[in-house]
Amino acid sequence: MSKLAGSLREAITACGLKDGMTVSFHHHLRNGDHTLNQVLAEIAGMGIKNLRIEASSLFAVHAPLVEHIKNGVVTAIGTGYMSGPLARAVSEGILPGPARFRTHGGRPAAMERGTARVDVAFIAAPAADPMGNLSGVLGPAACGSLGYAMTDARYAGKVVALTDHLLPYPLFPASIQEDRVDYVVQLSSIGNPQGIVSGTTRMTRDPVALAIARLAARVIEHSGLIKDGFSFQTGAGGASLAVTQYLKPIMRRLNVRGSFGLGGITGYLVEMLEEGFFDSLLDVQCFDLKAVASIRDNPRHQEISAARYASPLAKSAAVDSLDAVVLGALEIDTDFNVNVHADSNGIIAGGSGGHADTAAGAKLAIVAAPLFRARLPIIVDRVLCVTTPGDTVDVLITQRGIAVNPGQPELKDRLVRAGLPVYDIVKLKEMAEGYTGVPAPVKPEGKVVGEVEYRDGRVIDVIRAVR
């Protein structure tokens, strides 16, 4: 027996894909992914229409989806994140109905509940054997963790693995195993390594981002959480990543050994693992090649599924054991609600990813953002779109000061006692407007183009079309 299909089309046919079904994709190859476009081009060529896409994230590289939507091949989208030309087109109302935005933990939960059903999952496998044992750490398009794809493999009706690096049976180590995989297809390339990860994640040199990061590290220091067993997550961008470099000397000075670093993993967290600042890394997705090498070579760098990362239906998820997370924001309002879905003009510019999940799970959810970006204050009366509810956000850190959620009076006391610049969030907003002026309100009022599903399955906000 072999599960090797002669061609992509043969595998799609064998899966019984028909009009109106749902196909899923995962985003570990990020903006270097070649698989989604190849699969949809094939499906379009077969004349199949009216498909729903369930993706963990969609990037600029997936712009050909716009044509597939225009041609009726794709008529519905669920995703954790969306950027690039597709996001612009969806904001303009190209889909017949709203796109469904889920969190990285909400996606596996929706699949478990059956509200996000997948007929055929396509898994980009940097290495595979002919029976469908899959690895993310081998091959020319190695991306490290396959955490999000584990969910698809578990819940989809049929599972097709796509690989450009076929190895003899039994492949070792297998992240996704043959018991879940129906077919294996060889492609000439599943992705461009340059776009998969940034090579090396670069630390920002922006003085504003560094000032924010320094302040964030001091907030963590004085939060009471820095003790042996401390656990930490941060994003790969700007100020969030920079917090890592300021945290390290604090942990060294206090002689603290952390338990784990979580999330999308960067080379900076790998360094902290190797230097003994953390005992382990829990990795749902690698952000750079150093993380890819580490998850391949270091058993303490553990691969975790999306469900174990953040699902609210998991018997426990890693976010539930998380002490501190540093998150970004496009906007935050005076009730601490955070928007990472829509830009200042209401156009789709991202999505939760793990934002709402980690904020809900972590003991200390920090939002780190500049007071204003290109004349737009970050703090507003009401965010254009609620990604992460304010009652799960503990503190906002800007380069000019800190605002603590009124629901955390003890934290506020600690930070004030430490001499940190704590202000009411309204005061910080006024400070920003002192530099920028008060922006005229913008509110898109077209049809609903996006529904924001919280991790528990409730729709907590909508995104409307820009005219």
Partner 1 sequence: MNILRAASAGTLESSDALVMVSPGEGELAIDIESVVLPQFGAVIRQAVEEVAREMGVTAGIVRVNDRGALECTLRARVETALLRGTEAGT
Interface residue list for partner 1 (CB under 8 A): 344-345, 373-376, 435-437, 439-440, 442
Write out the H or E segment, with its range, that includes residue 53: strand 51-55
Handedness of CA 236, 242, 248, 254 (dihedral sign): negative
Q: How far is the CB of 338 from partner 1 (least distance, A)?
A: 20
Q: Name the residue nearer to partner 1 (CB basis): 1 or 374.
A: 374
Q: Name the residue nearer to partner 1 (CB basis): 302 or 436.
A: 436
| 236 vs 217: CA distance, rounded Å | 16
Q: Name the residue nearer to partner 1 (CB basis): 14 or 376.
A: 376
Q: How far is the CB of 337 from partner 1 (least distance, A)?
A: 20
Give the residue from 268, 308, 312 showing the smallest Cα distance to 291.
Answer: 268
Q: How far is the CB of 344 from partner 1 (least distance, A)?
A: 7
- What is residue 249's three-state secondary structure? helix
| 39 vs 77: CA distance, rounded Å | 15
Burial (0-12, 13-18, 19+ Cβ within 10 Å), 211:
middle
Q: Name the residue nearer to partner 1 (CB basis): 258 or 350.
A: 350
Q: Name the residue nearer to partner 1 (CB basis): 266 or 344.
A: 344
Q: Name the residue nearer to partner 1 (CB basis): 316 or 345.
A: 345
- The answer to whether the peptide bond before residue 170 is cis (omega within 30 degrees of 0) is yes
Q: How far is the CB of 207 from partner 1 (least distance, A)?
A: 13
Q: How far is the CB of 349 from partner 1 (least distance, A)?
A: 13
Q: Name the residue nearer to partner 1 (CB basis): 254 or 442.
A: 442
**CA angle, corner 325, sides to 322 and 326, nearest 5?**
175
Paired with 372 in beta bridges are 377
Q: How far is the CB of 204 from partner 1 (least distance, A)?
A: 14
| 367 vs 325: CA distance, rounded Å | 8
Q: How far is the CB of 444 from partner 1 (least distance, A)?
A: 10
Give the residue from 165, 169, 160 showing the smallest Cα distance to 188.
Answer: 165
Q: How far is the CB of 355 from partner 1 (least distance, A)?
A: 23
Residue with tokens 């209401």: 346
Q: What is the DSSP letter of 330?
A: S
Q: Name the residue nearer to partner 1 (CB basis): 206 or 271.
A: 206
Give the residue from 24, 80, 81 showing the smallest Cα distance to 53.
Answer: 24
Q: How far is the CB of 443 from partner 1 (least distance, A)?
A: 10
Backbone angles phi, psi at 383, to 5 degrees: -65, 150
Q: Name the residue nearer to partner 1 (CB basis): 258 or 346.
A: 346
Q: Would you say 193 and 127 are in contact if contact means Cβ atoms under 8 Å apart?
A: no
Find how far residue 353's CA is from the centre of its chain: 3
| 21 vs 14: CA distance, rounded Å | 14
